[in-house]
């Protein structure tokens, strides 16, 4: 059942909607707090190293990218706070070196690898992806990274591997949001193995041609453009290959609202808002939400025979 804004206010709970202050920055740079943070983010754009040897990808959309200042100042990253401006305000001193990623489970080559060695294995490419957040806002982001499938192949999953489980860093000393029980820490996510092997799935290490800013998930984050943004786990420290569907943070937190698959389906409303339309950050008017976030031609076959109202 579709519910309007008034109904949303009546339903809100979920810990008072996790204290979020929505309806911020609905126009281009309309939030005063976000403008202040954006100045910090813009300054860091020139300071962050430029990534070299990056090739263009055939998977990019031709849509106009969202400005860097918006991509880096309006974020969901609860480890640094629940307000959209909190990550840029609090993540600046987050340390991403030294950093290791552990690869475990049903693979032939379990190992723990330093992030810079990991990056040396792959050629980086830039992909301009549409990214949709579940609260009816979206961006177009030029990510830089490498295909998740390339990593999966290198690790050689065993026949028992059917899912890939991701774990984010747990470090309350650096992440003020983890000092509160807003979510069950650390953040965890997962994909089916065939989803992880799809050529659109990306492990991102940068955006706009530069090293990934801390507030956007440095040093390593997942990008799955046909799914809602909460699938894009940030600051990854462990990747485990498993035989059963792994738990995910938001499906544990609110199973009636967030499922394992998180495919963008505009025909199914979130219990507290409509999914049928979205507002692109920097635009005033909403636009229709596209099935699978506009990637239906590429990914719909992965879900043949599934009830996408039940497997949400």
Q: Does residue 293 sit within a domain?
A: yes
Between CA 51 and CA 145 the distance in angstroms is: 10
Mean pLDDT of 101-105: 98
The pTM is what?
0.86
* Segment 208-232 mean pLDDT: 98
Coil vs helix vs strand at 191 = strand
3 state DSSP class of 125: strand
CA dist 255 and 201 (Å) reads 24
Taking 50 as the threshold, does the pLDDT of residue 203 lie above it?
yes
- Averaged pLDDT for residues 236-248: 98
Instruction: Specify the number of domains making up the chain.
Output: 1
Q: How far apart are CA 138 and CA 286, in angstroms?
A: 10
pLDDT over 70, % of the chain:
85
- Spell 48-80 as b/e; 16+ CB within 10 A means b: beebeeeeebebbeeeebbbbbbbbbbbbbbbb
Tell me whether residue 171 is in a domain. yes
- Residue in 25, 182, 17 with CA at minimum distance from that of residue 88: 25
* Res 10: pLDDT: 38
> What is the C-alpha separation between 276 and 270, in angstroms, rounded?
10
Mean pLDDT calculated for residue range 258-286: 94
> Is 62 inside a domain boundary?
yes
Report the distance separating Cα 200 and Cα 202, nearest Å.
6
**Within a domain: 64:** yes
Rounded Cα distance, 136 and 174, in Å: 30
152-184 pLDDT, tens per residue? 999 999 999 999 999 999 999 999 999 999 999
Task: Give the integer Cα–Cα distance in Å for 269 and 11.
Answer: 14
Please report whether residue 308 resides in a domain.
Answer: no
Q: What pLDDT, on the 0 to 100 scale, is given for residue 45?
A: 54
- Is the predicted pLDDT of residue 248 greater than 90, yes or no? yes
For 105, the domain range is 5-298
| 309, part of any domain | no
CATH number of domain containing 266: 3.90.420.10
Reduce the DSSP state of residue 107 to 3 states and report it: strand
DSSP 227: B
Residue 273 DSSP symbol: B
Q: Which region among 36-40, 167-171, 302-306 has the lowest average model confidence (pLDDT)? A: 36-40
H or E stretch at 68: helix 68-71
pLDDT band at 33 (very low <50, low <70, confident <90, very high): very low
Residue 166 lies in a domain: yes
3-state DSSP: the chain helix, strand, coil percent, rounded to 5? 25, 25, 50
Residue 201: Cβ within 10 Å count: 24
- pLDDT score for 46: 59
Examine residue 259 and state whether it is found in any structural domain, yes or no: yes
């Amino acid at each position: 059942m579709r519910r309007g804004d008034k109904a949303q206010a009546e339903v809100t709970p979920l810990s008072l909607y996790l204290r979020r202050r929505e309806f911020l920055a609905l126009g281009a740079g309309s939030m005063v707090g976000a403008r202040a943070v954006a100045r910090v983010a813009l300054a860091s754009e020139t300071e962050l190293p430029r990534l070299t040897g990056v090739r263009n990808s055939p998977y990019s959309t031709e849509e106009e990218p969202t400005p860097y200042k918006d991509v880096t100042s309006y974020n969901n990253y609860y480890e640094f706070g629940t307000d959209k401006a909190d990550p840029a305000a609090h993540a600046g001193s987050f340390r991403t070196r030294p950093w290791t990623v552990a690869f475990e489970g049903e693979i032939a080559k379990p190992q723990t690898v330093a992030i810079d060695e990991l990056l040396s294995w792959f050629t980086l490419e830039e992909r301009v992806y549409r990214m949709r957040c579940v609260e009816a806002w979206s961006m177009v982001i030029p990510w830089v990274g490498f295909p998740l499938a390339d990593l999966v192949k290198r690790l050689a999953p065993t026949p028992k591997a059917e899912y890939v489980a991701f774990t984010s860093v747990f470090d309350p000393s650096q992440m003020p949001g983890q000092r509160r029980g807003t979510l069950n820490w650390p953040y965890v996510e997962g994909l089916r193995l065939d989803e992880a092997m799809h050529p659109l799935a990306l492990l991102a290490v940068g955006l706009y041609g530069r090293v990934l800013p801390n507030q956007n998930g440095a040093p390593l984050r997942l990008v799955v453009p046909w799914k809602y943004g909460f699938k894009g786990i940030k600051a990854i420290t462990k990747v485990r290959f498993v035989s059963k569907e792994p738990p995910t943070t938001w499906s544990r937190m609110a199973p009636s609202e967030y499922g394992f698959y998180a495919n963008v389906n505009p025909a199914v409303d979130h219990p507290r808002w409509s999914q049928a339309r979205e507002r692109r950050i920097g635009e005033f008017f909403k636009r229709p939400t596209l099935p699978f976030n506009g990637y239906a031609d590429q990914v719909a076959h992965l879900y043949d025979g599934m009830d996408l109202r039940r497997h949400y």
